[in-house]
Chain A
Amino acid sequence: MRNLPWVLARAVLVAGFVLFISLPLVMILLEAFGANWFGMRMLPAEWTLRWFGWAARTVDLVGVLINTAEIALLTTGLALVVSLPAAWAIARYRLPLKPILIGVILFPRMIPEITFALGVARIFYDVHLTNTVIGIALAHVMLAAPFAVVVLVSTFEGLDSRLLEAGTVMGCGPLGLFRRVTLPLALPGIVAAALFSFLASYNDFVLTLMVYGADTVTLPVQTYLSLGNGYLSVAGAISTILLVPSLLFLVAMLRMVRPENLLGGLKGA
């Protein structure tokens, strides 16, 4: 099996794959950090940080970054507040109609964002939630909560009841039990749910596009707006910043879980 054609074919496959996947992102970096990149040049004629300065001055990059982070943090908090108790109940209680309940919770991830985004846009407009941080965060919770519930249910189902009992026997009150036993055991799952929620909001484009306004532009929306205005390099600079959390998240996740178990949490549109 280890003959030369086989090894060569493998090398070509790997090299082709690496180039195919990575080059588009290399292009983003070249666009963001280069200038005078025209015609048949492979690399920009000049390296510069000026596009980040442009983005800061012309499209208020700092303000946009703060909006995006605020919305993502608020989404994470809200998603955890509603998902934690629900996941606990699903994992540890005998509830009737559990499959239907889970279906109702997961349905938002089964249909395209744009389908309910249309309704969200109209309703939020009527109740003055468009162009508000809380409004966009509320919409984003619909992206984050279903998957947070999935992660948390499997976390809570995996808790060893004997440890919880032992805690009670050893004299822990309900609060002490939660703080000393339940929380430490469930923490990795809760952190994963929080990270997924944050990223779902930080990266969201479709829903945000339907409910954002002049005061609540986020990084993905600004990337789109800059592109529409023809400022490719500014869009590249914003994209570079937009990429950072996703890359950190990916590194962290690959350390913790096997990639095939990540399926379902990530969703592009």
Chain B
Amino acid sequence: MTAAARRPEVALAPAGTAATGPPGQLRHLLLGGLLVCPLLLFLAAVFYYPLAYTVVQSVTPSAGGGWTLAHYAAFLGSREGLGVLVLTLGLSLAATLLSVVLSLPLALLLRRRFPGRRALQFLMMLPITIPSLVGALGLLILYDRTGWLNVVVLKLGLLSQPLAIDYTIPGLVLFYVWMFFPYGALVIMSGLGAIDPAVEEAGLVMGAKPRVVFFRLMLPLLRSSLWAGAVMIFLQCFGAFSVPLIAGGNWQPIGVRIYTVANVFLDWPQASAMAVVMGIIQAGLVVAYQAIGRGGRAA
């Protein structure tokens, strides 16, 4: 395959030349198709076939034969199933709002050069570079009843009882913020980078107070980045698996619930139906993210 990859450079029309007529186009089509083939075959075998398999499973009656939407009805029509969706969406929404609030000042701060900026960038990238499982483990230890936060709070006499954070919903929200806010911060940072510094200077030169410049100039210009960052964080929270798996306790958002239904209850058709619902919601969020990105560029 690599040999095939090496050959075409000579046959290649320099980028930017006009179309070379039917023979050239045919060669592009044939050689290009040949080069893309291995990847497409791979995707078909290890991604699209399993995906189709999951979809087929989700409409297969537990008793076998024919097809049914019973598994979807059982998930979307039951209190328990709706509870899973509400929990997942609620956690994601809360974590997204908090993350955006954290990301914005950070992105503004990291815009300027100052000593230690690189170290801060390094820190900011940590939660999304390391395995989520490791981050979740560290968070569990830090916010444990005998963890550092509680030790400090109790020793300072701020509280008489340790705070229960691990395995609670506010705890999960906090963990999600730690784990996923960098996605939002990165989107907002690239949005900030696209704003002409002259805009801010002009505002200041014209005598506006920094606060006014921020709220009247910067924030409106950043609006599409903020939305894109928010959707990005929401997407990550919605798909979270490792964090709620080990730090969720009795709270099981959709990813963990699917895993439990499949591996503990061994109800694969039911798990498949939930997985398809999750996939559709997530794909919808990605489309929304891309639409915002396009809108932002067009504006």
- Chain A contact residues, CB within 8 Å of chain B: 1, 10, 13-14, 17-18, 20-28, 30-31, 38-42, 81-86, 88-90, 92-96, 101, 104-105, 107-108, 110-123, 138-139, 141-142, 145, 149, 157, 161-162, 164-165, 168, 174-175, 177-178, 182, 199, 203, 205-206, 209, 220, 223-224, 227, 232, 235-236, 239, 242-243, 246-247, 249-251, 253-254, 259-263, 266-269
Expressed in whole angstroms, the Cα–Cα distance for A74 and B10 within the complex equals 31
- Evaluate whether A119 and B137 lie within 8 angstroms (CB atoms) in the complex, with A92-B15, A249-B129, A268-B179 already known: no
Residue pairs across A and B with Cβ atoms less than 8 A apart, 6 shown, are A13-B109, A88-B5, A89-B32, A107-B47, A205-B242, A263-B190
Chain B stretch 248-299: residues in CB contact (< 8 A) with chain A: 255, 258-259, 262, 268, 271-272, 275-276, 278-279, 282-283, 286
Residue of B nearest to A94 (CB): B28
Contacts of A205 in B (CB 8 A): 131-133, 241-242
- Bitwise interface map of B from 58 to 81 toward A, beta carbon under 8 Å scored 1, else 0: 000000000000000000000000
- Evaluate whether A174 and B125 lie within 8 angstroms (CB atoms) in the complex, with A88-B35, A96-B29, A101-B36 already known: no
A21/B137 in contact, CB under 8 A: no
B47, B106, B124: the one within 8 Å of A142 (CB) = B47
A95/B29 in contact, CB under 8 A: yes
Expressed in whole angstroms, the Cα–Cα distance for A47 and B19 within the complex equals 70
Chain A CB within 8 A of B2 CB:
yes
Contacts of B272 in A (CB 8 A): 118-119
Binds A, one of B143-151, B165-173, B215-223: B143-151
Residue count of chain B within 8 Å CB distance of chain A: 101
Q: How far is the CB of A102 from chain B (nearest CB, A)?
A: 10
A254/B31 in contact, CB under 8 A: no
Expressed in whole angstroms, the Cα–Cα distance for A220 and B241 within the complex equals 13
B141/A114 in contact, CB under 8 A: no
Contacts of A42 in B (CB 8 A): 148, 151
Contacts of B128 in A (CB 8 A): 266-268
Contacts of B125 in A (CB 8 A): 250, 253-254, 259, 262, 266
A108/B36 in contact, CB under 8 A: no
Q: Taking each of A23, A138, A236, which has the highest tally of chain B beta carbons within 10 Å of its own beta carbon?
A: A23
Q: How far is the CB of B237 from chain A (nearest CB, A)?
A: 10
B51/A116 in contact, CB under 8 A: yes
Expressed in whole angstroms, the Cα–Cα distance for A199 and B239 within the complex equals 19
A123/B151 in contact, CB under 8 A: no
- Chain B contact residues, CB within 8 Å of chain A: 1-2, 4-10, 12, 14-16, 19, 25, 28-29, 31-36, 38-40, 42-43, 46-47, 49-54, 57, 102, 105-106, 109, 116, 118, 120-135, 137-139, 141-142, 146-148, 151, 154-155, 178-180, 183, 186-187, 189-190, 193, 210, 236, 239-242, 245-246, 255, 258-259, 262, 268, 271-272, 275-276, 278-279, 282-283, 286
Contacts of B57 in A (CB 8 A): 118-119, 122
B39/A145 in contact, CB under 8 A: yes
B268/A88 in contact, CB under 8 A: no
A21/B126 in contact, CB under 8 A: yes
A174/B7 in contact, CB under 8 A: yes
A21, A88, A111, A162: the one within 8 Å of B282 (CB) = A111
Residue of B nearest to A119 (CB): B50
A105/B39 in contact, CB under 8 A: yes
Residue of B nearest to A159 (CB): B15
A138/B46 in contact, CB under 8 A: yes
Expressed in whole angstroms, the Cα–Cα distance for A266 and B139 within the complex equals 20
Residue of B nearest to A122 (CB): B53
Contacts of B116 in A (CB 8 A): 14
Residue of A nearest to B175 (CB): A24
Expressed in whole angstroms, the Cα–Cα distance for A227 and B151 within the complex equals 23
B131/A242 in contact, CB under 8 A: yes
Q: Taking each of B6, B116, B180, B271, which has the highest tally of chain A beta carbons within 10 Å of its own beta carbon?
A: B6
B239/A21 in contact, CB under 8 A: no
Q: How far is the CB of A147 from chain B (nearest CB, A)?
A: 13
Q: How far is the CB of B180 from chain A (nearest CB, A)?
A: 7
A92/B12 in contact, CB under 8 A: yes
Contacts of A224 in B (CB 8 A): 133, 245-246
A81/B148 in contact, CB under 8 A: no
- Evaluate whether A174 and B246 lie within 8 angstroms (CB atoms) in the complex, with A242-B134, A260-B193 already known: no
Contacts of A26 in B (CB 8 A): 138
B193/A220 in contact, CB under 8 A: no
B134/A116 in contact, CB under 8 A: no
Contacts of A17 in B (CB 8 A): 102, 106, 120, 123
Expressed in whole angstroms, the Cα–Cα distance for A205 and B242 within the complex equals 8
B133/A94 in contact, CB under 8 A: no
Contacts of A112 in B (CB 8 A): 239, 241, 255, 275, 278-279, 282
